[in-house]
């Protein structure tokens, strides 16, 4: 891989630069205890110790067989704005959160460490070290809440979205859940859904930031605004052209379809169904459209769809699915349960020592870990392999076994962000990675029925063979 591309400097906002900077700072999107830990560590001299933190989940949500990593690009974008400037420092001082000496440290804070992890869009399983943060304690501990808030939400959305695009069997899924989420979460959800294969979003800001195609024509309100359905359809077609999508279920569906074709002609782009028994209606509407000569007119269905509803429509003549609430809320699993744990820290002799939490039901495995996926002769995953051992061995490990595909990629090197993972290009790269990674799953892994993780996780101890991973229940 070529050298990382350093993120470009933020554009000058002229006389309002300070205000713009204040709005964009991500430094206080965090929990107080991260700063109080830093305060104490700076006071006792441990803040400069070299540390390694890992992000992983102990278990998948009930019924899920795999997760999808999303949000990595957003983490990298947020890292560029993780700065404590005058407004943040003034508030921390007024609130008495940390000491004056720690405020001085925060004023000059810049992350100069390194971050590696699974490529965004990659499938993950319990214990998968999806992100590894390497730096001083002072630098790395402050990123915990920001990293987890982004990865937990985005990965929950992408994991649900992947089940939906899988159930759709090649038919496009369209994200339209903005009104069911916080305004910024709506943008993040649209991005995460695109990573997992959604073809477009209704959210314009997501389209602007990340180059995601946007969709949308009219709601029932537009039809109700007019004196009759035909007037509404004529107005829409006059503005948007006959290739538009007409919503035909405000009143009577059959009459709506008839009116839509009469107004737009047989070249009508699509009709949308937003209520009723969608499977039955789709068959009836398809037959009616064909009889009217509109054989190329597509059928779009919406109305509280989730992966199970999409799967139930597999035999219906549906051309695309519009999904709202379920995708932006993770379809019943709104978080992935990811944690950010210290797994190694510098000892008195200057070498990294494994550390691990031993609390019942919340155990962790100490030491830096690499990761690989073992594939069979058909290129399908059979094991998630964690690489453990001395830190120097793990960081230089490369598989001799050609059936193992390494999973970690560099994201930040000595503070320089590799911008290939950010912006619109990062979303496209992540979507490609997701398609390839999901295609590696074993047969049956994409079923919606509840089951265990699609592949087991094992630990390859360098110099010591293979053993079952210490997986918390």
Average pLDDT, the chain: 92
List the domains of the chain with CATH numbers.
15-142+337-365+408-441 (3.20.140.10), 159-332 (3.20.20.70)
pLDDT of residue 292: 98
Q: What is the pLDDT of residues 156-184, one digit of tens each?
A: 999 999 999 999 999 999 999 999 999 99
SS3 of 57, please? Answer: strand
10 Å CB burial of residue 189 (0-12, 13-18, 19+) is: buried
Q: Please tell me the distance from the alpha carbon of residue 39 to that of residue 24, in angstroms, as a whole number.
A: 24
**453-468 confidence digits (pLDDT tens):** 999 999 999 865 444 4
Residue 412's Cβ-side half-sphere holds a number of Cα atoms within 13 Å equal to 25
At 109-131, the pLDDT tens digits run: 999 999 999 999 999 999 999 99
* pLDDT higher than 90, residue 254: yes
Query: What does the pLDDT read at residue 63?
Result: 86
For the chain, percent of residues with pLDDT exceeding 90: 85
* pLDDT score, position 159: 98
Judge whether residue 197 has pLDDT over 60: yes
How large is the average pLDDT for residues 237-253? Answer: 98
173-175 sheet: strands from edge to edge: 200-201, 173-175, 320-323, 298-301, 270-273, 245-247
356-375: per-residue pLDDT in tens?
877 666 667 899 999 999 99
pLDDT, tens only, 387-414: 999 888 898 999 988 899 999 999 999 9
Q: 372: how many CB neighbours lie within 10 A of its CB?
A: 21
Lowest mean pLDDT among 264-278, 392-406, 424-438: 392-406
pLDDT at position 223 over 90: yes
Q: Which pLDDT score, from 0 to 100, does residue 23 have?
A: 52
């Amino acid at each position: 891989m070529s050298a990382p591309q350093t993120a470009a400097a933020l554009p000058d906002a002229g006389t309002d630069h300070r205000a713009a900077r204040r709005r964009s700072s991500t430094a206080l999107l965090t929990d107080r205890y991260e700063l109080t830990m830093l305060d104490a560590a700076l006071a006792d001299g441990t803040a400069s110790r070299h540390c390694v933190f890992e992000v992983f989940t102990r278990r998948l949500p009930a019924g899920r067989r795999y997760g999808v990593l999303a949000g990595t690009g957003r983490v990298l974008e947020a890292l560029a704005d993780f700065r404590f400037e005058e407004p943040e420092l003034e508030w921390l001082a007024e609130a008495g959160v940390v000491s004056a000496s720690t405020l001085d440290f925060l004023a000059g804070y810049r992350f100069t460490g390194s971050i590696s992890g699974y490529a965004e869009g990659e499938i993950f399983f319990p214990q998968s070290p999806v992100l590894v943060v390497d730096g001083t304690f002072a630098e790395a501990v402050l990123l915990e809440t920001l990293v987890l808030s982004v990865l937990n939400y985005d990965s929950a959305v992408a994991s649900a979205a992947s089940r939906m695009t899988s159930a759709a069997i090649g038919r496009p899924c369209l994200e339209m859940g903005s009104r069911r989420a916080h305004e910024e979460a709506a943008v993040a959800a649209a991005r995460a859904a695109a990573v997992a294969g959604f073809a477009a979003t209704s959210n314009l800001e997501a389209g602007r930031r990340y180059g995601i195609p946007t969709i949308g024509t009219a709601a029932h309100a537009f039809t109700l605004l007019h004196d009759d359905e035909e007037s509404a359809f004529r107005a829409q077609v006059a503005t948007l052209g006959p290739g538009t999508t007409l919503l035909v279920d405000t009143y009577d569906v059959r009459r709506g379809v008839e009116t839509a074709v009469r107004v737009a002609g047989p070249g009508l782009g699509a009709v949308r169904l937003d209520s009723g028994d969608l499977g039955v209606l789709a068959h009836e509407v398809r037959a009616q459209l064909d009889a009217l000569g509109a054989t190329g007119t597509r059928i779009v269905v919406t109305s509280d769809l989730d992966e199970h509803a999409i799967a139930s429509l597999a035999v219906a003549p549906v051309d695309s699915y519009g999904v709202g609430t379920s995708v932006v809320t993770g379809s019943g699993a709104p978080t992935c349960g990811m944690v950010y744990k210290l797994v190694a820290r510098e000892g008195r002799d200057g070498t990294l020592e494994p550390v691990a939490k031993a609390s019942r039901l919340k155990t962790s495995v100490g030491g830096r870990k690499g990761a690989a996926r073992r594939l069979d002769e058909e290129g399908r995953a059979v094991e998630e392999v964690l690489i453990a051992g001395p830190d120097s061995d793990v960081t230089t490990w490369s598989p001799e076994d050609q059936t193992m595909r390494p999973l970690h990629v560099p994201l930040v090197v000595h503070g320089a962000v590799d911008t290939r993972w950010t912006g619109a290009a990062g979303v496209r790269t992540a979507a490609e990675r997701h398609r390839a990674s999901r295609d590696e799953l074993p047969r049956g892994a994409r079923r919606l029925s509840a089951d265990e993780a699609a592949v087991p996780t094992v630990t390859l101890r360098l110099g010591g063979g293979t053993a079952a991973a210490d997986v918390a229940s």
